[in-house]
C-alpha cells in the first residue's frame, strides 16, 4: 500500500517544476529505497519515468511539430479520404503556397501542404506544422479565388499562431502522467495502478476527440480570421472574399451537421468581426476568376 502512494508524491514533484525535477526525485526514491518502502529496481523505474516527464515539458521543436502535425493529419485522413483530382489539388497548393509566403510564418520544418478531403461536409482543418485539409463541401462554398484564398489564409493563420500546439500543450501533463503510470506499473503492479493507467489513456483519447470534433477555441477562430485579413491584404487578395464565403457557407450549412457549425463560431459573428477589420481592400483580379472556374471543374 505504501508503494502506491509513491505516484501521487512524484506527481507533486512534477508540478513543482522541471528544473529540480530529477534531483528531487532521485533524493526521494533514494530515501524510499534505503528505508525499504520500495526496491532499488522500483526506484530506478520511477527515476526514468520522471526524467521522461521533464522532457515532455521542454519546448516543441519545429521538427517535432512536423511529426505531430503529420500524425494529426493522418488521423483526420483516416476518416476523410483524399479527393483524387490532381489538377484541383495542384491549384489548391498553388494558391495556398503563395498565401503562406505572406504570413508571419512563411516556412515550417516540412513546408505547407494543402489537400482536398472527399467529403460533402463543410469543413477545413489545420494541423501543426502546416498540414491544411479542405473538404469538397467547403470548396463548394467558394465562388471565387478570393473566397478560396480566404479559407486557406484562415487555416494558415491557425498554423502561424501555433493554435494546434496550444491545444496539444493542454494535454502534456496527462501525457506525462501516462508515461509515469505506465513505467511505474512495470514494477509496482496492482489493479489500482492498472486502472489509473487506463484512465490516463482514456483521457488522452478524449483530448484527441475534442481537438478533432470541437475545433479550436472561439477566440482562436477570431484570431485566425484577423491573421487571414493581414495575409490576404499582403498577397493582394480582397479579404471580402472570406466574407462572401461565410455568407455562402451559412446558406449551405445543415442543422446538426458534423461540419463548421460544430467547430466554429456562427458565420454572422465572424462576418461582424471581419467587417470591422477589413476596411479598404484591393480589387479582385479578373484573371483569377477564370483560373478558379477552370480549376474547380469536376468538384
Give the whole-number percent of the chain exceeding pLDDT 90: 35
d(CA 217, CA 35): 49
Query: DSSP letter string over 196-245?
Result: HHHHHHHHHHHHHHHHHHT-S-HHHHHHHHHHHHHHHHHHT--THHHHHH
pLDDT tens, position by position, 74-104: 888 888 899 999 999 999 999 999 999 999 9
Place of cell 455562402: 248
Mean pLDDT across the chain? 74
pLDDT tens, position by position, 180-228: 455 554 554 555 455 545 544 443 344 345 445 566 678 888 999 999 9
d(CA 17, CA 58): 11
Give the residue, 254 or 130, on which the prediction is more confident: 130
Could you tell me the three cell numbers for 174?
496527462
> What is the torsional sign of CA 131, 136, 141, 147?
positive
pLDDT of residue 70: 83
d(CA 80, CA 256): 19
Which of 16, 83, 107, 153 is CA-nearest to residue 296?
A: 83
pLDDT of residue 178: 54
d(CA 146, CA 240): 8
Residue 275 has pLDDT above 60, yes or no: yes
Give the residue, 274 or 257, on which the prediction is more confident: 274
pLDDT of residue 217: 75
d(CA 299, CA 152): 17
Could you tell me the three cell numbers for 223?
484570431
Please enumerate, as own/partner, the contacts of 165-169 that have beta carbons within 8 Å and a separation of 24 or more.
165/60, 165/65, 165/68, 165/128, 166/220, 167/211, 167/216, 168/60, 168/68, 168/128, 168/211
pLDDT of residue 59: 56
Whole-angstrom CA distances from 97 to 162, 172, 205, 264, 271 are 18, 31, 32, 24, 25
Could you tell me the three cell numbers for 127?
494541423
d(CA 149, CA 132): 13
Amino acid at each position: 500500500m505504501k508503494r502506491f502512494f509513491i505516484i501521487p508524491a512524484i506527481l507533486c514533484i512534477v508540478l513543482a517544476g522541471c528544473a529540480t525535477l530529477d534531483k528531487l526525485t532521485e533524493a526521494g526514491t533514494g530515501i524510499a529505497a534505503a528505508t525499504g518502502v520500495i526496491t532499488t529496481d522500483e526506484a530506478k523505474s520511477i527515476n526514468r519515468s520522471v526524467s521522461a516527464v521533464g522532457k515532455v515539458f521542454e519546448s516543441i521543436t519545429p521538427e517535432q511539430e512536423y511529426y505531430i502535425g503529420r500524425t494529426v493529419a493522418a488521423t483526420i485522413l483516416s476518416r476523410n479520404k483524399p479527393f483524387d483530382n490532381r489538377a484541383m489539388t495542384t491549384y489548391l497548393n498553388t494558391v495556398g503556397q503563395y498565401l503562406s509566403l505572406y504570413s508571419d510564418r512563411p516556412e515550417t520544418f516540412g513546408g505547407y501542404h494543402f489537400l482536398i478531403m472527399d467529403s460533402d461536409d463543410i469543413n477545413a482543418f489545420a494541423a501543426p506544422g502546416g498540414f491544411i485539409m479542405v473538404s469538397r463541401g467547403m470548396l463548394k462554398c467558394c465562388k471565387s479565388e478570393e473566397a478560396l484564398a480566404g479559407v486557406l489564409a484562415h487555416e494558415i493563420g491557425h498554423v502561424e499562431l501555433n493554435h494546434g500546439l496550444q491545444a496539444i500543450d493542454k494535454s502534456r501533463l496527462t501525457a506525462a502522467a501516462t508515461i509515469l503510470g505506465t513505467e511505474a506499473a512495470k514494477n509496482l503492479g496492482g489493479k489500482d495502478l492498472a486502472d489509473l493507467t487506463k484512465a490516463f489513456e482514456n483521457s488522452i483519447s478524449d483530448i484527441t476527440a475534442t481537438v478533432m470534433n470541437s475545433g479550436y477555441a472561439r477566440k482562436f477562430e477570431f484570431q485566425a480570421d484577423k491573421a487571414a485579413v493581414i495575409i490576404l491584404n499582403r498577397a493582394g487578395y480582397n479579404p471580402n472574399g472570406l466574407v462572401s464565403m461565410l455568407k455562402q457557407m451559412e446558406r449551405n450549412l445543415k442543422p446538426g451537421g458534423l461540419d463548421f457549425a460544430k467547430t466554429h463560431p456562427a458565420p454572422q459573428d465572424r462576418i461582424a468581426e471581419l467587417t470591422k477589420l477589413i476596411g479598404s481592400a484591393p480589387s479582385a483580379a479578373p484573371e483569377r476568376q477564370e483560373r478558379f472556374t477552370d480549376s474547380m471543374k469536376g468538384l
